[in-house]
Amino acid sequence: MLANQGQAADVVKLLSPVSAANTAAATSAWIDCRKYEGDIAVVVQTGALTGSLTWTLEDATDGSGTGAAGITPNEGAFTAGAANQTQKRTLNASAVRGWVRVVGTIVTGPVLVAAELLAHPKYTA
């Protein structure tokens, strides 16, 4: 981030640090991203890992997940989850259909996970 972008960014908790036994426990709620511009950064963290974890991002047209579909980050897909790992991916806010969530697909759990979203609110006069 340049200059004061870090100070201006909103930080939104997607997943509190949790020991997730299944995909449902590693899937965030839908986050309204209509107020953001520029890049939306999603940071995922994986702690102790028993089985396997695959992170993906989805967008939708409303907060209940209507039309939910996978969305490819600017950098490409997340790499396979490994223990004690942090990954960041970005989305262009104008490419998101309104709402975003992170999905941690767990084949064998538990997995310690957490996720945050950082984004810059649109300028309002």
What is the side-by-side strand order in the sheet with 36-49?
10-20, 111-121, 36-49, 85-92
- In this predicted structure, what is the pLDDT of residue 119? 95
User: Which pLDDT value is given to residue 55?
Assistant: 97
In a domain, 28, yes or no: yes
Q: The domain that contains 32 carries what CATH number?
A: 2.60.120.380
pLDDT in tens, the chain (125 residues): 455 677 888 999 999 999 999 999 999 999 999 999 999 999 999 999 988 899 999 999 999 999 999 999 999 999 987 899 999 999 999 999 999 999 999 988 899 999 999 999 997 65
User: How many structural domains compose the chain?
Assistant: 1
- Whether 4 is in a domain gets the answer no
Give a yes or no: residue 70 inside a domain: yes
Q: Is 19 helix (H, G, I), strand (E, B) or coil?
A: strand
Structural domain harbouring 37: 9-121
CA-based nearest residue to 87, from 101, 107, 105, 73: 73
- pLDDT computed for residue 2 by the predictor: 52
Q: Distance (Å, rounded) from C-alpha 118 to C-alpha 12?
A: 6
Amino acid 117: pLDDT = 97
Residue pair 43/116 in contact (Cβ under 8 Å)? The answer is yes
